[in-house]
Amino acid sequence: MNKTHQDIILPGRHTALLLAATLLVAGTAFAQDDETLTKQVELKEAPEASGEGYFDYPGMDEIPEGQFGEAVRSGMEAFVNTLQHPEAKRHVGNGQNCANCHLGGGMAANSAPLWGAWGIYPKYRGKNDHVNTMDERIRGCFTYSMNAGDSEAGGPPEPDSQLLKDMQSFMFWSARGAPLGENLPGRGYRSVEKPEDGYSISRGKSIYEAQCAVCHSGDGSGKFTADGKQIFPPLWGEKAFNWGAGMHRINTAAGFIKYNMPLGKANPVEKHAALSDQEAWDVAAYMNSHERPRDPRWEGDRTTTAEKWHDHECLFNHKAHGQILGEGTK
């Protein structure tokens, strides 16, 4: 027989204490068996899609009416056209839109789609070494990818602000029907194993000039309309993502570039690449061999900052083009 909440019999004090002690012992034993509870680890790479393909996110015509629908639409606009959104733009200190790193308006599989991220938060992130909520995750994107420290507002949106509510409403809507807590196929970027030959900045320069400069400009400054609307994003320089953004990692950038660039030639959903693994690593290294805005986690000097925050595949505090990288653009 189904019980209503009025029908449930609460345990007595001694029964409750015994139950709590039992759960504590069982929970401790479980934690010892499950490394994910005793050791902070990053989420594994997304699995391959099965015969059913990727998650079927809702269509634009399915956005509801009313206040929630308004929040979804505002969050979508903040995500796709961050530089033009009346509130989001106040927290952008460079020339980036959120959708530059999440293609297809944040819906494309293997391009860090929003529907793949929503159901796995809260989760641990090694980047700041603690468990993050989605609210904090978005604020982190503003801090690093959007360089919010140099914005009109001087930092990311405030926790639980209307902007963050709107952006999370968009994410929630995009993941409608997706299972919670699952590492969905297509969730992030596909990884590209580092070539045996490593990477070459000089080879990357040649690839960039032939394949990338037409959109992102020869000096990496991107392209904008006369009124400041972004056409293609800057890749380095003062309008690019800063040294704390995930895309400054060569391996991360190589995975994104291989299956997403050049735009129109590669296809992340079909896993079609226009560049080889070697070419992707080379051009990723070239892109990240230039100065960009300073890491907000700056520890006073390059060496200390590198030791604490840059123990990964990147060129921070390395020499390229005649200078040691990491001081940040002036």
Average pLDDT over the chain, rounded to an integer:
87
Class of domain 201-324: mainly alpha
Query: What residues contact 321, with CB distance under 8 A and at least 6 apart?
Result: 289, 290
State yes or no: pLDDT of 193 exceeds 90.
Answer: yes
Tell me the C-alpha distance between 193 and 174, whole Å. Answer: 30
Mean pLDDT of 296-320: 97
CATH superfamily of 60-174: Cytochrome c-like domain (1.10.760.10)
State yes or no: pLDDT of 3 exceeds 70.
Answer: no
Tell me the C-alpha distance between 248 and 243, whole Å. Answer: 6
* pLDDT level of residue 132 (50, 70, 90 thresholds): confident
Give how far Cα 3 sits from Cα of 6, 8, 16, 90, 202, Å: 8, 7, 20, 51, 70
The string of pLDDT tens digits covering residues 236-270 is 999 999 999 999 999 999 999 999 999 999 999 88
State yes or no: pLDDT of 40 exceeds 70.
Answer: no
Residue position matching structure tokens 């394949």: 211
Per-residue pLDDT, 43: 55
For the chain, domain boundaries: 60-174, 201-324
**Cα 28–Cα 33–Cα 36 angle in degrees, nearest 5:** 95
Give how far Cα 110 sits from Cα of 142, 148, 158, 183, 281, Å: 21, 26, 30, 12, 17
Backbone angles phi, psi at 231, to 5 degrees: -100, -55
Mean pLDDT of 76-84: 97
Q: Give the percent of the chain with pLDDT over 70.
A: 86
Q: What is the pTM of this model?
A: 0.85
The string of pLDDT tens digits covering residues 199-235 is 999 999 999 999 999 999 999 999 999 998 999 999 9
Residue position matching structure tokens 């070494």: 129
Please, what sign has the CA dihedral across residues 191, 169, 156, 127?
negative
Residue position matching structure tokens 């029908």: 7
